[in-house]
Amino acid sequence: MTHAQATSPRSFDDYVSATSVEAAVRALADGDGTPVAGGTDLWIQKDLGVKPFAGRLVNIRRIAALRGIEERGGRIRVGALTTMTEVLDSDCLRRFAPVLPATADRFASVQIRNVATIGGNIINASPAADFVVPLLCLDAEAELACWRGERVATRCLPLGDLLAGPGHTRREPVELLTAVHFDTPAADFHAAFCKSGPRPALEIARVSLCLAGRLVDRRLTCVRLALGAVAPTAIRCLRTEATIEGAVLDDTVLRHALECLDSEIAPIDDVRSSAWYRRHLARTYLEQELRRVLEG
């Protein structure tokens, strides 16, 4: 719109609609491909000139192998093309990891949920990425595929290691995110997701938080605490987790947990919120969830 916008919007010079993982990674193999599924982030960003876009658009939305949610042998696999609506509707996830449908219910709008994929939410890597937060609490791993040595090669890595910075992941340009996996949570696993309002969902989170763990006798073990929008990526707060691990909640434990939280997050001032308010919300949500879970 103004003289200052010197970069041109993206003009794609090649288009591939892949129907298999092999076709997709072969189309990405020269490093000049942009995978697209729902397009709800990409189709806004491509014209802004803030992110570099490759010349070949690779439509991965029709790859059946990237769909589906399955629990098998104590592991749950969620295909990268799973939409937020599919997460909401999934009997498997409602049964084994209800925090994920609960998170999807706070995501954007119905129209966006119908097409936005968990893969897209992860790779877009917003510091406020709603869906990444509970996945971190589930110790999710990301599965990536690429074309190497005349075949499809895959690697897995913890989701937290994939995130690199605001809008950046450690996905190589030749790679495609194909799925996330996590161990089927135990029967006593509890997880809750909080997100700032006041709108129910159509908000970019000022702060989001997920507190999870195995709840026995008013104590949480295997504590997982993840937050969004308080650091360059969604993060786990390991030292804060340690203060909660196995502890009975009292004023001292609570105070210690909140102090640790304060030291582990690095919120910024931006157009949506001040750093103060982000800290305030993070503390509010942590205390709220600790009391809810550990005080009954």
Partner 1 sequence: MSHADTPRVIERHSVIGARVPKLDAEDKVTGRTRYVNDMVLPRMLHAKILRTDRVHARIIRIDTARAEALPGVVAIITAADMPKAGIGVLKDNPPLKSDKVRTIRDELAAVAAESEAICDAALRLIEVEYEDLPAIFECIDALKPGAPVIHSERPDNVAMVHEFVHGDVDSAERASDVVVEGKYNVHYVTHCNMGVSCVLADIGVDGRVTLYSQTQYPYIMKMDIAPALDVHPGDIRIIQPPVGGAFGSKLDVYPYEPICVALARKARRPVKLAFSRKEEFIASPTRQPVEFTIRAGMTKDGILTFRDIDTLLNNGGYTSWGATTPFVTMRTCSSHYRVPHVRYRARAIYTNNPYAGSFRGYGNVQATWAIETHMDKMAEVAGPDPVAFRLKNANEPGDVTPQGARLNNIDLKGCLKIAAAKSDFVSKWARYREGWNSNSRVKRGIGIAASLHNAGGAKIHKSDGCGTILKVDDYARVTVITGASDIGQGIDTVIAQFVAEELGVPMRDVTVIANDTATGPWDVGVHASRTTYIAGNSARRAARKARAMILDQAAKQSNVTADCLDLRAGHVVQADNGVVVIPLDRLLRQMHFAGQDATLVMVTDYYEPPSQPEDKNHIGDMSACYSHAVHVAEIIVDTLTGEIRVETVWSVQDVGRIVNPVGLEGQIEGGIAMGLGYALSEELKIENGIVRNPYFRDYHVFTAPQMPRFDLTFIETADAEGPAGAKGIAELPTIVIAPAIGNALYNATGLRIDHPPLTPEKVARGLWDRAQAMKRAAE
Partner 2 sequence: MSLKVDIVFTLNGAAVRASVSADANALVVLREQFDLAGAKLACGEGECGACTIIVDGLSLNGCLMPAADLDGRRVETIEGLWRGAGLDPVQKTFVETGAIQCGFCTPGMVMQARHLIERNPDASEADIRRGLEGNICRCTGYRKIVDAVVLTLRAARP
Among partner 1, partner 2, none, the one that 59 touches (CB under a kind-dependent 5 to 8 A) is: partner 2
Question: What does the CA dihedral 221, 241, 138, 274 come to, rounded to 10 degrees?
Answer: 150
Check: CB of residue 158 under 8 Å from CB of residue 141.
yes
Beta-bridge mates of residue 77: 70, 181
Check: CB of residue 130 under 8 Å from CB of residue 109.
no
**Judged by CB under 8 A, which of 24, 28, 35, 40 binds partner 2?**
40
In angstroms, rounded to a whole number, what is the distance separating the alpha carbons of residues 128 and 171?
19
DSSP code, position 108:
S
Would you count residue 6 as binding partner 2 (CB under 8 A)? no
Smallest gap from Cβ 209 to partner 2, in A, equals 22
Which residue stretch of 31-39, 157-165, 215-223, 265-273 sits at the interface with partner 2 (rule: CB under 8 A)?
Answer: 31-39
Would you count residue 19 as binding partner 2 (CB under 8 A)? no
Tell me, residue by residue from 214 to 253, as one string, x for binding to partner 2 by CB under 8 A and - for no binding: ----------------------------------------
Number of residues in contact with partner 2 under rule CB under 8 A: 30
- Residue with structure tokens 């990891």? 97
Which residue stretch of 56-64, 66-74, 146-154, 276-284 sits at the interface with partner 1 (rule: CB under 8 A)?
Answer: 276-284
Q: Are strands 208-216 and 69-72 parallel, antiparallel or unpaired?
A: unpaired
In angstroms, rounded to a whole number, what is the distance separating the alpha carbons of residues 272 and 126?
14
Among partner 2, partner 1, none, the one that 17 touches (CB under a kind-dependent 5 to 8 A) is: partner 2
Check: CB of residue 177 under 8 Å from CB of residue 253.
no
Would you count residue 36 as binding partner 2 (CB under 8 A)? yes
**Judged by CB under 8 A, which of 25, 27, 61, 84 binds partner 2?**
61
Q: Which residue in 124, 155, 125 sits closest to 141, CA to CA?
A: 155
Sites for partner 2 among residues 115-174 (CB under 8 A): 115
Q: In the numeric block, which tokens belong to residue 20?
A: 């298999």
Burial class (CB in 10 A: 0-12, 13-18, 19+), 210: buried
Sites for partner 1 among residues 185-204 (CB under 8 A): 196-200, 202-204
Would you count residue 284 as binding partner 1 (CB under 8 A)? yes
How far is C-alpha 276 from the geometric centre of its chain's CA atoms?
24
Would you count residue 50 as binding partner 1 (CB under 8 A)? no
Check: CB of residue 15 under 8 Å from CB of residue 59.
yes
Would you count residue 277 as binding partner 1 (CB under 8 A)? yes
Scored b (16 or more CB within 10 A) or e, 230-248 reads bbebbbbbeebbebbeebe
Which CB, 46 or 236, lies closer to partner 1? Answer: 46
**Judged by CB under 8 A, which of 11, 52, 91, 248 binds partner 2?**
11
Sites for partner 2 among residues 66-95 (CB under 8 A): 85
Residues that bind partner 1 (CB under 8 A): 1-6, 8-9, 196-200, 202-204, 271-274, 276-277, 280-281, 284, 288
Residues that bind partner 2 (CB under 8 A): 9-15, 17, 36, 38-40, 43-44, 46, 57, 59, 61, 85, 108-112, 114-115, 199-202
